[in-house]
């Protein structure tokens, strides 16, 4: 029996997130107060009251998710022992916090910078992303390679679950080529409401700046194995984790492969920490056999949980 914690990424946020945690747990309120100070804006107000357009800006979305997930990891620390961790894109930073690699303030400062750099990169080189559903993963990758030429970039960015891949690239060019994926057998091709071509070469400028901060930040070896997006394998050494974090910004998120690797290593229980339940659905579509899948988002879920 082994338990993994998984942490959600962008797209899971919602207006009202963390309000109940803030009201019912003094530790959550303290962490949010620290976050507001680091952000220089009232992140808590954006999370509690929106507007949704502001919360959806990646420079606020990423810190909001990290704080929510870090709060949950802190509140559940004594109640929920775990053996492995992973996070989807931004969620990887939350996994590193849970595994003791970074403290709360260090993690949030890195996430704040990451969100700002990705926001800026999206303004400089306009990009977008689209979900491709019902097409073989390797075929998606092959078609992306065929379509990429010069400044016209399309790459497979997120392998979310078998048959669900997100592509990323130059905004107008990717939109013009979405019918090609439908013609190649995809059941659905849908553009996502994002502000840039995340996990693609168009994030190179953001990666260059973030790398400096990652190598300057204090990090410790992980207390449990952290399955990283860029490699879909477990790491524990701080220097290995730094390199994977840098790589992550322009490399695909190997989420399907990470979940499969965790199950192969003996993980049979997955708990999602963060807003919503997107990862629970992805895990269900990826694992085989009998596993336990659950999640924590609200104060009520934290209060009523007891691990048998």
Q: Which residues are catalytic?
A: 89, 199
Helix (H, G, I), strand (E, B) or coil at 128: strand
Q: How far apart are CA 82 and CA 97, in angstroms?
A: 13
- Burial tier of 189 (Cβ tally within 10 Å: 0-12, 13-18, 19+): buried
Alpha carbon dihedral 108, 209, 199, 239, in 10-degree steps, equals: -70
Whole-number Cα distances in Å, 143 to 200, 204, 212, 244, 293: 15, 22, 34, 26, 33
How far apart (Å, rounded) are the C-alpha atoms in residues 214 and 265?
29
Strands laid side by side in the 188-192 sheet: 188-192, 127-133, 164-170, 154-161, 253-254
Count of Cβ atoms closer than 10 Å to residue 38 Cβ: 16
Place of tokens 């579509």: 285
For 304, counting Cβ atoms within 10 Å of its Cβ (0-12 exposed, 13-18 middle, 19+ buried), the class is: exposed
């Amino acid at each position: 029996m082994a338990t993994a914690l998984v942490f959600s990424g962008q797209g899971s946020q919602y207006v009202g997130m963390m309000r109940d945690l803030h009201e019912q747990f003094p530790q959550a309120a303290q962490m949010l107060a620290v976050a507001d100070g680091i952000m220089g804006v009232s992140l808590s107000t954006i999370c509690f009251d929106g507007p949704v357009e502001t919360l959806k800006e990646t420079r606020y979305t990423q810190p909001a998710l990290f704080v929510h997930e870090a709060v949950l990891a802190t509140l559940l620390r004594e109640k929920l022992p775990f053996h492995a961790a992973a996070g989807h894109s931004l969620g990887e930073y939350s996994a590193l916090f849970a595994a003791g690699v970074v403290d709360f303030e260090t993690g949030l400062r890195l996430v704040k910078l990451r969100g700002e750099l990705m926001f800026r990169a999206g303004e400089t080189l306009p990009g977008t992303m689209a979900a491709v559903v019902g097409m073989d993963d390797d075929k998606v990758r092959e078609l992306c390679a065929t379509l990429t030429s010069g400044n016209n970039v399309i790459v497979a960015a997120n392998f979310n679950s078998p048959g669900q891949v997100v592509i990323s690239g130059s905004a107008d060019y990717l939109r013009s080529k979405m019918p090609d994926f439908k013609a190649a057998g995809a059941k659905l091709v849908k553009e996502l409401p994002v502000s840039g071509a995340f996990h693609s070469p168009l994030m190179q400028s953001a990666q260059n700046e973030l790398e400096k901060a990652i190598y300057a930040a204090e990090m410790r070896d992980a207390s449990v194995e952290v399955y990283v997006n860029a490699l879909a394998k477990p790491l524990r050494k701080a220097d290995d984790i730094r390199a994977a974090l840098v790589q992550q910004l322009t490399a695909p998120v190997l989420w399907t492969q990470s979940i499969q690797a965790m199950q192969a290593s003996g993980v049979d229980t997955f708990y999602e920490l963060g807003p919503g339940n997107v990862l629970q659905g992805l895990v269900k579509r990826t694992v085989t056999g009998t596993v336990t899948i659950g999640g924590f988002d609200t104060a009520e879920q934290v209060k009523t949980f007891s691990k048998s």
